[in-house]
Amino acid sequence: MKPASLPPRSPPPRFSGPSLQPINPNLLLPPPKLWFITVTLLITLLIDLFPLSDTFAPWRPELVALTLLYWCTWAPRFVGVSTGFLLGLVMDVANGSVLGQHALAYTLLAFGADYFRRRIVSFPMWQQIVFVALLLELCALAVFLVRMMSGGELSSAAYFIVPPLTALLWPLMQFLLQWQQRRAALSEH
């Protein structure tokens, strides 16, 4: 086809028809900034450290893991396995657990996120949630096995129910964590 016959360049179309709709409109956003990633990780850590009573503590959503998973998926240049490991060490100290427990979990999570990154972003939202739930559950299971081998004892069944519940927060997390990118996209136009 001759170049002359191409239509004049126009801004990306509004996604009206299903055939023209990109798989994930988020792919059009500019890349996130490092400062924003750091700040969001710190804020989720802060929320996670908020003291809760005994009744609610086992049901605390794993927000740090979810944020890590999000950034591993969407900002793999900044956040990866090593970030997961360091964040895990911090969580271990904060929780007073054996050093290496969360480090292992988050390393696993970051690797899973990176490995399946291209697949996760192309899924519709409900499939993404299922995928995130599976990843979080897998990493909970890994920690469980390691702790059982070193003679630990699980006190509450909530441990295995929390990961899928946390995954339900994925859309909300995505909405919040895209704030900086959306703003950057707006200021570009």
Partner 1 sequence: MIPGDPPPYLYRGPSILARFVFFALLSLLLLFVDTRYQHLEKLRAGIAVALYPVQQLARWPRTAAQEIGVYFASKKALERQNTALSLLLLDWGNTAQEAQTAQQENARLRELLQLKAQTSRSTHAVEMLYDTRDPFVQKITIDKGQMHGIKESSAVLDPYGVIGQITHVSLLTSDVTLLVEKNHTTPVQIERTGMRSVLYGMGAGVPMELRFVSPAADVRIGDRLVTSGLGSVYPPGLAVATVTAIDNNTEQSFVHITATPAAGVASSRYLLVVDALTPAPMDSPSAAPSGEGKSNGKSNGSRGKNNGKPSGNRRTS
Residue 39 is a binding residue for partner 1 (CB under 8 A): no
Binding window for partner 1 (CB under 8 A); candidates: 13-21, 91-99, 131-139, 165-173: 91-99
What is the smallest separation between the CB atom of 2 and partner 1, expressed in angstroms? Answer: 27
In the chain, the amino acid numbered 122 is: S
As a whole number of angstroms, the distance between CA 129 and CA 127 comes to 5
As a whole number of angstroms, the distance between CA 153 and CA 131 comes to 28
Q: What is the CA radius of gyration of the chain?
A: 19
Residue 74 is a binding residue for partner 1 (CB under 8 A): yes
What is the smallest separation between the CB atom of 136 and partner 1, expressed in angstroms? Answer: 14
Residue 174 is a binding residue for partner 1 (CB under 8 A): no
Q: Which of residues 142-171 bind partner 1 (CB under 8 A)?
A: 143, 146-147, 150-156, 158-159
As a whole number of angstroms, the distance between CA 62 and CA 163 comes to 7
Q: E strand or H helix at 50, and its extent? A: none
Residues with Cβ < 8 Å from 128, sequence gap 6 or more? Answer: 120, 170
As a whole number of angstroms, the distance between CA 65 and CA 12 comes to 34
Residue 93 is a binding residue for partner 1 (CB under 8 A): yes
Residue 139 is a binding residue for partner 1 (CB under 8 A): no
CB 75 within 8 A of CB 32: yes
Q: Which of residues 48-67 bind partner 1 (CB under 8 A)?
A: 48-54, 57-58
Q: Which residues would be at the binding site for partner 1 (CB under 8 A)?
A: 27, 29-32, 42, 45-54, 57-58, 74-78, 80-82, 84-85, 88-90, 93-101, 103-104, 107-108, 110-111, 114-115, 117-118, 121, 143, 146-147, 150-156, 158-159
